[in-house]
Structure 1
Amino acid sequence: MNMDVCDDLQALRSESVQYVVAPYEADAQLAYLSRTGKVDAVITEDSDLIVFGCERIIYKLDQYGACVEIRRDRFAAVTEVNFVGWTDELLRQMCILSGCDYLPSIPGMGLKTAHRMLRQLRTAEKVIRSVRMDGQLRVPPDYEKAFRRAELTFWYQRVYDLDARALTTVNPVPQGLDISEMDFLGPLLEPEVARGIATGDLNPITKEPIVDLTADASKDQENIALHARRKPVSPWLQRNKTFRPKPSTTPNAKSITNYFSILLVFRLD
């Protein structure tokens, strides 16, 4: 396990700060915390949080407290683009049409074009059909299927519920929609595994218990000191007093960064 992640978890626990580790994607988990009122705002640099439906997002927060705040209840005040009467569904479809993490855009389809066509036609299906019939932009053969999958991912991605201590979805799944085989929403986990990941006790990649590397490193230092009483420590170790042996089972650091997201639960005054 990445040493920095373990240190962060230990710091949060020592200060009694409530947190949750996202079992799947951090964006979806943050959106769920926002939707259920667990947080007053989300601090991020990712525009996908708008598509996920966060009510209040803080961008470009600096050390002096300066930031850019985006509030969903003020979208109608935007003057550059007309969002009067614009629904969450239309906003989500506009963003997907212009390209998102789950689906590249139709070549040549930007935000302004997607917005204009949706205002005219009102549904993504009609927009895609119109673009395909027009022939000026090339629509991939399986685009409609991929679009539907992206919509489902934004709306029903699996997250962790702090109150129920179990997996749920960003938004309630309507009756008649079966998501049991939709692994792209997040493969189902055993309840105890989901709880272990969310509480920071299990590695979200390997599903193995997280070892407190800080404690292990301290023991290693003690062992080195004890050994030094009987045998001189090498000059390299004398120069590198913060030496910590690297565990042979350390997961790829990039994987940890991508999938192990610590989310603080906070309340703004």
Structure 2
Amino acid sequence: MKQVSLLLSHGIKPIMVFDGCHLPSKAVTETKRRENREKNRKQAKELLRQGRAREALEHFRRCVEVTSEMAFEVISACRARNIDVVVAPYEADAQLAFLNLKGIAQVVITEDSDLIVFGCKSTLFKLDSNGGCVFVDHEKLHLAMNIPRDKFSFEKFRNITILSGCDYLPSLPGIGLVKACKFFSVTANTDIYNVLSKLPSYLNMPNLEVTQEYREKFMQAINTFLYQLVFDPISQTLRPLSDYPDGMGPNDYPYAGKFVGHERARQIALGNVNVQTGEVVDHFDPEIFKAKSSNSSELNENIC
């Protein structure tokens, strides 16, 4: 809440966005993170047994899992300070990007570089207590890539990011950002599914195996960045980040989030649902809350 207080002290209205339900596209990444947490937990216990408390503490920090109960405590603290909160139907990244792209949030503050790949227009990274930060402007990405504006394609940028490895798809052996850039700089073919099979020859890596499964997962990663489900606080509806292609709908992209209905998504967004269990944990209604706050203010004015 320190960063929230910093923003408020400068007259900035924050909107707190929390992760929601587990996203099918991220299942492999989530499994690896659980395994890493368990590994760190075991290491911490062993170090503690050896009397190496300081080292154990570092490993204990790495195995901490943020639960819905923890998030609810922060949400309650935000409500008490009249700070807007949105719990994303799935990933906070996609929800933040939607708020920014629709002009609801002017700037996104985050530590996750995936926000750039979601198409965020203005993003702040590494914001400190003195206001220092790294600002990324979507319109100037071509400068960071050292590519003329007229030759820069955001779609190609997204493909490079996915090929080098992202939360939805691990990179292939030996493929990092440099080789991903090289590959997409030598091909103008927009048929991504088929052109991926040319990776070994284009990069002179004859032993590299590009399976059909990998190519399918690559396309799913693209679609997840484009069509992940988010909550629209204006229309109070569940919708994709980008409009679906004609004739397509949520059932065509199950890995980008299950369509649970507008009212259920609204209750999740309000923080009334435990996203890990699906249990209803509160009945917060912003309209009733505003009415109570207004009545309280009027009462205080009368007393004064």
TM-score, normalised relative to structure 1: 0.72
Q: In the TM superposition, what are the counterparts of 1:32-51 in structure 2 within 5 Å?
A: 32-51=98-117
User: What is the CA distance between 1:194 and its match in structure 2?
Assistant: 1.0
**Secondary structure in 2 aligned to 1:61?**
coil
2:197 counterpart (111, 114, 129): 129
Structure 1 equivalent of residue 237 of structure 2: 166
**Equivalent residues of 1:193, 1:207 under 8 A apart:** no
Counting helix residues as a fraction of each chain, which structure ranks higher? 2
Q: What residue number does 1:112 align with?
A: 178
- From 156, 159, 178, the counterpart of 2:227: 156
Count of residue pairs brought into register by the alignment: 211
SS in structure 2 of the partner of residue 130 of structure 1: helix
Distance 1:100 1:11, change over 3 A: same
Letter in 2 for 1:33: L
Unpaired runs of at least 5, structure 1: 213-269
Q: How far off is 1:42 after superposition?
A: 1.1
C-alpha deviation, 1:174, in angstroms: 1.7
Q: 1:179 to 1:191 in 2, by over 3 A?
A: closer
User: 4+ residue stretches of structure 1 with deviation over 6 A?
Assistant: none
Report the residue type matching 2:147 in the other structure.
N
**Aligned position for 2:266:** 195
> Offset of 1:94 from its aligned partner?
0.6
1:82 aligned onto 2:147: yes
**Residue 175 and residue 207 in structure 1: after superposition, are their counterparts in 2 closer, same or farther (change >3 A)?**
same
**Structure-1 residue corresponding to 2:134:** 68
1:55 is aligned with what amino acid?
K
Output the amino acid matched with 1:208: E
Question: Kindly, what percent of the aligned residue pairs are identical?
Answer: 37
Q: Structure 1 stretch 20-29 or stretch 140-149: which is displaced more?
A: 140-149
Counterpart for residue 77 of structure 2: 11
User: How far apart are residue 127 of structure 1 and its match?
Assistant: 4.4
What is the root-mean-square deviation in Å for CA atoms of aligned residues?
Answer: 2.1
In the aligned structure 2, how far is the partner of 1:2 from the partner of 1:182?
26
User: Which structure's relative contact order is higher, taking Cα pairs within 8 Å and 6+ residues apart?
Assistant: 1
Q: Secondary structure at the match of 2:239?
A: strand
Deviates more, 1:173-182 or 1:68-77: 173-182
CA distance in 2, matches of 1:25, 1:76: 27
Which structure would you say has the larger Rg?
A: 1
Deviation at 1:14, TM superposition (A): 2.0
TM-score, normalization by structure 2: 0.64
Name the CA shift for 1:57/1:209 in 2 (closer, same or farther; >3 Å). Answer: same
d(CA) in 1 for partners of 2:195 and 2:128?
40
SS at match of 2:197: helix
Judge conservation of contact 2:250–2:259 (CA < 8 Å) in 1.
Answer: no
Deviations 1:22-44 (A, max 9, x none): 11111111111111111111111
Q: Quote the residue 1:140 is aligned against.
A: 211
Asked if 2 retains the 8 angstrom alpha-carbon contact of 1:52 and 1:154, the reply is yes
Q: Bigger shift: 141-150 or 91-100?
A: 141-150
Once the two structures are TM-superposed, the CA of residue 162 in structure 1 deviates from its matched residue by 0.4
In the alignment, structure 2 segments of 5+ residues that lack a partner are 1-66, 284-304
**Is contact 1:27-1:48 (8 Å) kept?**
yes
184-193 or 60-69, larger mean C-alpha shift: 184-193
Q: Could you tell me which amino acid in structure 1 is paired with residue 196 of structure 2?
A: I
Matched position secondary structure for 1:142: helix
8 Å CA contact retained: 2:68, 2:276: no
Structure 1 residue 191: deviation in Å?
2.4
Q: Which residue identity is paired with 1:130?
A: K
In 2 relative to 1, CA 142–2 (structure 1 residues): closer, same or farther, beyond 3 Å? closer
Cα deviation for residue 154 of structure 1 reads: 0.6
